[in-house]
Amino acid sequence: YVKNMITGAAQMDGAILVVSGADGPMPQTKEHILLAKQVGVPNMVVFLNKEDQVDDAELLELVELEVRETLDKYEFPGDEIPIVSGSALLALEALVENPKIQRGDNKWVDKIFDLMDKVDEYIPTPDRETDKPFLLAVEDVLSITGRGTVATGRVERGTLKVGENVELIGLKDTKATVVTGLEMFKKTLDETMAGDNVGVLLRGIQKKDVERGMVLAKPGSITPHTKFEAQVYVLTKEEGGRHSPFLVGYQPQFFIRTTDVTGKIVSFTHIQMKNPSSVAEEHSNKMAMPGDRIEV
């Protein structure tokens, strides 16, 4: 579950946090907020669901206050974030009963419109990197009878047109192919650009050749690597991180775009220790503690 959460959240421009108005923030609510903060989700709007199950308006106000305090705790601006209450179930039932329902016809549907207004107002449209080389992280792979293999995902940067060459990189040997079709939400496209969630039809590629975690990229723009150096902050237990230190040779799970792989830390040096001492310094090139900053 966490793997899927990271895959989705790492590509978000913003998020809607859904909290039960009847129950208030639950342990998983805090996990969602923490993960959103850690993977860099920039903005958030809150929807207090199940308002129809709350008889006392003051109770709903208390839940809102608790949500704002929780957001503050994880360094989101709790006082500023818009909060809208409503009932997703009653809005959905009204929509099923009347698919052509308009704003003003039903109070629960209106609350969903209000929520989307807040999303438009509060979550800014990001500047897309359309001038950089094309890059898409593959989320899923489909095989369409008579047409070929489709890789789906969100375009991270650049643009792509039907007929252009791309490379399929990572996890397996790099393969060159040609884009023979583009589709987004059942609409055929001639061109896609950064920010789009798109399906890319690939010439001469079998389904077994593609898997989640690979990337489609402009030929020659990137190369795969299996070793790298990085500066790392080790999250503490209170921050949702480690309870214990780790040693050289530790094999953590790396979450990179839409994939996760097991790596190995072969060496590290300390940049900053959380609790420096003579003993800690003596073992500084062998052991890292929660709260330390290290170069691995």
Q: What are the extents of the domains in the chain?
A: 2-122, 135-217, 231-295
pLDDT tens digits, 183-227: 998 899 999 999 899 999 999 899 999 999 999 999 999 999 989
The first and second tokens of residue 214, run together, are 């690979």
> What superfamily in CATH does domain 231-295 come from?
Translation factors (2.40.30.10)
What phi and psi values does residue 262 have, to the nearest 5 degrees? -90, 125
The two beta strands, 44-49 and 83-85, are: parallel
260-272 per-position pLDDT tens digit: 899 999 998 888 7
Q: What is the C-alpha to C-alpha distance for residues 201 and 206, in angstroms, rounded to an integer?
A: 11
Helix (H) / strand (E) containing 30: helix 27-38
Q: Under CATH, what is the fold of the domain 135-217?
A: Elongation Factor Tu (Ef-tu); domain 3 (2.40.30)
Residue 278 has pLDDT above 90, yes or no: no
Topology match between the domains 135-217 and 231-295: yes
Please report which confidence band the pLDDT of residue 273 belongs to, taking 50, 70 and 90 as the band edges. Answer: confident
Neighbours of 160 (CB within 10 A): 24
Amino acid at 136: L
pLDDT at 5 over 70: no
Topology (CATH level 3) of domain 2-122: Rossmann fold (3.40.50)
Q: How far is CA 277 from CA 233, 234, 270, 282, in A?
A: 19, 18, 13, 8
CB atoms within 10 A of CB 274: 14
pTM surpassing 0.85?
Answer: no
Amino acid at 93: E
Residue 61 DSSP code:
H
Instruction: Give percent of the chain above pLDDT 90.
Output: 64
Q: What is the dihedral of CA 227, 234, 35, 142, to 10 degrees?
A: 10
The token duo for 23 is 């129950």
